[in-house]
Structure 1
Amino acid sequence: MPKKRLFIGTLTFVSGLEAVREVIDSLGITGKWVERENIHFTYRFLGDVDEEKIPSIASMLKGKLRGVRAPLVEYKGLGVFPSLRSPRVLWVGMNSEALYEVKRKVDMALLPFGFPLEERFTPHLTLLRIKKLRHQTKFKNYLFKMREHLFERKLEAKVCLIESKLTPQGPIYSVLEEILLD
């Protein structure tokens, strides 16, 4: 049975990211930047899904998201996962109560397909997978300075079922289904 590696999310872009990259590069931090066209946030990672289930999942998502309002998202602050002591991922934070309602509907749509409800949801935009950190103190100071920085506030009206093909050069994303919120 052929499978596709899937996630449900929104491809987006936020102004001001070029300036972040310039500062990070000037600090001698190296790693793999997420390509502009691949910047997204994830409602739910599904992993490998049987191809024959994809139309049913798309249909269920459309049904559960009908009439749901598009969340107004505030892209604010920079942070790292898993910790400041050992940063591996640089991200932009997201604030939006309405985002959690969309997430709840996505989870409800997936229940019939054997995906349990997720307890944790930390919406963010991954910018960089950090490989080497030279100036830890300067990096921490920059993160501290940027923790309340407002990048952009905008409506995110699309929820997409996205295929992720992994390649040595990085992932290639293909939108299989796009659902527009109200």
Structure 2
Amino acid sequence: MELLRLFIAIKLPQDFTKKLINYQIFLNNPIFKLTTSQNLHLTLLFLGDIPKTQIPNLKHIIQQNIVNFKPAPIIFKTISYGPYPQVPRLVWLTGTTSESYNNLKKTISEQITRELSLDKFNDLYDFIPHITLARLKNNIHQPLPELPHHDIFNNYSFTPNRIWLEQSILKKEGPQYIDLEEFNL
């Protein structure tokens, strides 16, 4: 059985992506592996390895759950090391949790678990908007540099009008994302 590594993504407006790329210039340090411009996104829901045969059902579940969904602005706050400051693995831009996106994530998760019989699938975490700007390379034996202009995107917001079902193919040079389906909100 062929498995595909999948997630539901919110793509970023082009002008915002350009601003993020401009910020990445400040991360010019060998300890960082920068996220490529085509990989900058928000993950609404990471699905993991899903049987290829389930993709049509998965698309149907997503479509059902977005019918009455009203997109809200996603508001960003600060750039920091994450996901845990004590054990950082990346540099990310985080935002404020949104009840509407939490509910969408939860209802899709529950329906996938119920209808696709994926008992291992249980994503209980809130949707915390975050964009990975860079990953820390392994074996860093030096103090991490202070992140410049960490509040440069404070209160920047955008309202998505689409989401995507994405496949992630892990490669040595970094993940490659493939659009499987686009859904209008």
What is the TM-score of this pair, normalised by structure 2? 0.81
Secondary structure of 2:156 counterpart: strand
Segments of 5+ residues of structure 1 without an aligned counterpart are: none
**Contact residue 5 and residue 50 of structure 2 kept, 8 A:** yes
> Which residue of the other structure, out of 147, 152, 164, is the alignment partner of 1:160?
164
How do 1:102-113 residues align onto structure 2 when only pairs under 5 Å count?
Answer: 102-112=104-114, 113=116
**Larger strand fraction of residues:** 1
Partner of 1:48: 49
How do 1:81-96 residues align onto structure 2 when only pairs under 5 Å count?
Answer: 81-96=82-97
> Which 4+ residue blocks in structure 1 deviate beyond 3 angstroms?
82-86, 132-136
Cα RMSD, aligned residues only:
2.3
**Contact residue 10 and residue 41 of structure 1 kept, 8 A:** yes
Matched residues, number: 175
**Contact residue 160 and residue 175 of structure 1 kept, 8 A:** yes
Partner of 1:116: 122
**Contact residue 73 and residue 99 of structure 1 kept, 8 A:** no
- Partners of 1:170 and 1:29 in 2: how far apart? 16
- Partners of 1:130 and 1:80 in 2: how far apart? 9
What is the TM-score of this pair, normalised by structure 1? 0.83
**Larger helix fraction of residues:** 1
Cα-to-partner distance string for 1:47-104 (whole Å, 9 max, x where unaligned): 2111111100110110111120112111221122143344221000122523223222
1:127 and 2:133 equivalent? yes
Identity of aligned pairs, percent?
A: 23
Segments of 5+ residues of structure 2 without an aligned counterpart are: none
